[in-house]
Amino acid sequence: MEFFLFLPAIRLPFERLVATARNAEAAGFAGIVGMDHLVPPAAETQPMYEAMTANTWLAAHTKRLKVGSLVLCDALRHPALLARQAVSIDHASGGRFELGIGWGSYQPDFDGFGVAPFTPRERVARLRETLEVIRALWAGDTVNYNGEFHQLKNATQAPGPLSKIPIVVGGAGPKTLSIVRDHADWWNLDIRHKNKYSGAAFEDLRAQIGNARVSLQVLLAYVANENQRAQIAETAKRRFPFSQPQIGNGSELLEYFSGMQAQGVERVYLWFCDFAQPETLSSFGKSVIDPLARVVASLRKDSAP
């Protein structure tokens, strides 16, 4: 299992973004991702940077971290531009960019700025077309495409990806899961509202994604000091009143994520309720990431012929 830091670039200057990314890298995180909105959710008047620009900057200021978004809003970019942006970051970072993309379920982005298409049905259909176009351009094909939303004539792009840019698609609706099955390397499920996708419901969704690998987005209230548990839980409830954060110390979370790993979850995107303070990342790395990695290494050693 690998851990990515989810860090929305809201009210955060680039200096803070870079410092947090470097702290995550030092703590053993495998990647860092942000969000992509024209209207910052629950922070409509606050400053927020553009996602692909932020990805480029973070890639330039880290050495190992994968970078991406959870997730880009498809309707904000033409697929030919997005394909070229992705390849550019891929080359500049030495292959550390991942394309996380979704159809755009946050309606204020569309209503406030007049972004089309305006209905969810159309946006899901557009996402499928976008991924068909992007994959064809990345393959080096001459693309002739006549879709409902995209029309390309004798279109080509160079260079192509260094190897393969992973595609991450988030969502749980039937049409979205069909897109995951046909086009994604990773399927991400947001479980901040944990009761909605537990047990059989989760297994039913996973049965629909084909060969895509599984990742989960978790809202986490990490308890580094037991004397502060009640305060940490109260702060998490105040900051995220409509979500259900996972609350726990190192040993509790090690058990929690080990259970996820046993279910076939290979990646977790962590949204820390304290907005990823340096001491939180460091402590989480020592108490969860490192021990879990040692367990996996031991199991691999025991199973080797």
pLDDT tens, position by position, 4-15: 999 998 999 999
For 213-228, what is the mean pLDDT? 96
Q: What is the C-alpha to C-alpha distance for residues 129 and 131, in angstroms, rounded to an integer?
A: 6
Give the angle 244-249-251 at the CA atoms, nearest 5°: 120
83-94 pLDDT, tens digit per residue, is: 999 999 999 999
Instruction: Give the per-residue pLDDT at 70.
Output: 96
62-71 pLDDT, tens digit per residue, is: 999 999 999 9
Instruction: Give the per-residue pLDDT at 192.
Output: 87
**Is residue 54 pLDDT above 70, yes or no?**
yes
Please, what's the largest Cα pairwise distance for the chain? 65
Q: What is the C-alpha to C-alpha distance for residues 53 and 175, in angstroms, rounded to an integer?
A: 30
For 193-206, what is the mean pLDDT? 83
Work out the pLDDT band at 196, boundaries 50, 70, 90. Answer: confident
The range of the structural domain enclosing residue 86 comes to 2-303
Instruction: Give the per-residue pLDDT at 305.
Output: 72
Instruction: Give the per-residue pLDDT at 199.
Output: 80
Work out the pLDDT band at 304, boundaries 50, 70, 90. Answer: low
For 101-124, what is the mean pLDDT? 95
Work out the pLDDT band at 195, boundaries 50, 70, 90. Answer: low
Please state, for a pLDDT cut of 90, what percent of the chain lies above it. Answer: 91
Work out the pLDDT band at 197, boundaries 50, 70, 90. Answer: confident
Q: What is the CATH number of the domain that holds 209?
A: 3.20.20.30
For 64-81, what is the mean pLDDT? 98
32-47 pLDDT, tens digit per residue, is: 999 999 999 989 999 9
Work out the pLDDT band at 230, boundaries 50, 70, 90. Answer: very high
Q: What is the C-alpha to C-alpha distance for residues 91 and 78, in angstroms, rounded to an integer?
A: 20
For 179-194, what is the mean pLDDT? 93
| Count of Cβ atoms closer than 10 Å to residue 15 Cβ | 9
- The total domain count for the chain is 1
Instruction: Give the per-residue pLDDT at 37.
Output: 96
